[in-house]
Structure 1
């Protein structure tokens, strides 16, 4: 695990001003962490894994500042990131143009506690049949989106591929001063699918194809069409 770096449980790591490129692993193509990790100004590009094309986290805590995750791929979940447990923050970062051939999370798959602050999540693709969450797949965890854009992501696989922007299964999601715009999916909704209501503060869900939220079992507060 961890194509370039594997941080074991109980270990602590700090990585700064580095590039992880063209690495391969079963989990965490660039970085796999089960410990405590902080990164600053790290670029993850063109890595591959079964899950978590750039980063995989099984447990522990992580803070990633000024990170760039671009053009990473996975065979199953989390084209860019796969988070199974622990607490993770991304600040002032870009999660762009990542792809999974699987069915969950072109950019991010989250099953833990994830906070994104001043983040661009764009150009990510979930390409598997019945794929969900081109930008973000939230699975029973906690997701806080603050001052972020989830734009131009897609769920373009065959069958019931939904939610080019965000797909949420029973997670607690906060959308704060953020936007989910210009995402697309094979079937509605193109923007957000959720089975629980979001907490929304001065945010927008607009210009998604074929719909913004129509087709979701719960319509996010303020989302129209």
Structure 2
């Protein structure tokens, strides 16, 4: 049975809301959803074993942590493994796997973060989830779908699939990745690793993180597809070995501010479009602080390293500062000032 430790108020003082630490032993028959429903806001649930099913957190702040590592497995339960409708939630030391939204209109195979919610995910793995749809709705965010605030630290998001945003799809939300890896995810359309759509307030920030070996099979942005006013910042990060069928093997960026600080963008491929490393449209882009864009390939297009598209004069510029763009094919840059071409 689940064990609970409650810390209440101090003697002689007004009663305080109890802070609970509850243990949930899924292999012994404990119900994780019951524990979530019964927990007071601010409580911690310590989980052991494998919990099978789909779970929902709403209306409270909770901390779910594996001890030492627990599994939330959506196998044979259609829908998102864990949905956060509101509140501030922390998930740590967890494997979240086998979520599948097929034949539903749910978004996010592994995790769905609603617009009133905040999630901090740490020391966890999101793997083997799928957000696909055969009914004309849903299909975004194989690993995670976000409309709120999402922070990912020391975690791996790998082997997930979706219509768009194989690893992560964010709509108008804020996403921060720190010391994390987005790898080997697949999108049927755009955003093999990550798709971020601004919606007026969206942002995507990567620090000391990797986006590698992702695939946008039928669209743009093998590693990252960033558009609609979502600001994108890379700091000390690596975007490598990603593939897009169209534009932006590493990163496709459209109508959004984009800055690169001390980062590596290398060995990415755009198979039929432009911008093996970066494809950018009507955006201000800054590449600075010893960044390196190298060995990227636009197989049948232009701008092997960076391709800059502007629909109107002055509508988009790429500024290079103390950085290198080298060894890309068929050229290093298209429509980028001060970029050396062979």
Report if TM-score (shorter chain) is over 0.5. yes
Contact 1:198–1:221 (CA<8 Å) still a contact in 2? no
Provide the TM-score with structure 2 as the length reference: 0.62
Contact 1:71–1:98 (CA<8 Å) still a contact in 2? yes
Cα deviation, residue 103, structure 1: 2.3
Residue 172 of structure 1 corresponds to 284
Cα deviation, residue 221, structure 1: 2.5
Match of 1:8 among 114, 118, 136: 114
State the alpha-carbon separation in 1 of the partners of residues 194 and 320 from structure 2: 24
Residues matched between the structures, number:
216
Q: Gaps (5+ residues) in structure 2?
A: 1-106, 132-138, 310-315
Cα deviation, residue 219, structure 1: 2.3
| Counterpart check, 1:156 vs 2:271 | yes
Residue 28 of structure 1 corresponds to 141
Q: Does the residue aligned with 1:105 lie in a helix, a strand or coil?
A: coil
Cα deviation, residue 107, structure 1: 0.5
Contact 2:332–2:339 (CA<8 Å) still a contact in 1? no
Task: Give deviations 1:147-202, integer Å, cap 9, x for gaps.
Answer: 11110000123xxx221110000111110121111001123221111033212210
1:102-121 pair list within 5 angstroms: 102-111=218-227, 112-121=230-239
Provide the TM-score with structure 1 as the length reference: 0.93
State the alpha-carbon separation in 2 of the partners of residues 24 and 221 from structure 1: 43
Task: Give deviations 1:9-50, integer Å, cap 9, x for gaps.
Answer: 011111110000110011111011100121111101110011
**Could you say which structure has the greater relative contact order, defined with CA pairs below 8 angstroms and 6 or more residues apart?**
1
Residue 147 of structure 1 corresponds to 262
Q: Gaps (5+ residues) in structure 1?
A: none
Q: Does the residue aligned with 1:174 lie in a helix, a strand or coil?
A: strand
Residue 162 of structure 2 corresponds to 49
Q: Does the residue aligned with 2:189 lie in a helix, a strand or coil?
A: coil
Q: Does the residue aligned with 1:150 lie in a helix, a strand or coil?
A: strand
Residue 193 of structure 1 corresponds to 307
1:66-145 pair list within 5 angstroms: 66-85=179-198, 86-111=202-227, 112-127=230-245, 131-145=246-260
Displacement over 2 Å in runs of 4+: 219-225
Q: Does the residue aligned with 1:222 lie in a helix, a strand or coil?
A: coil
Residue 25 of structure 2 corresponds to none
Cα deviation, residue 223, structure 1: 3.1
RMSD: 1.1
Q: Does the residue aligned with 1:27 lie in a helix, a strand or coil?
A: coil
Q: Which has the larger Rg?
A: 2
Contact 2:283–2:317 (CA<8 Å) still a contact in 1? no
Cα deviation, residue 55, structure 1: 0.4
Contact 1:121–1:135 (CA<8 Å) still a contact in 2? yes
State the alpha-carbon separation in 1 of the partners of residues 291 and 264 from structure 2: 6
Contact 1:23–1:30 (CA<8 Å) still a contact in 2? yes
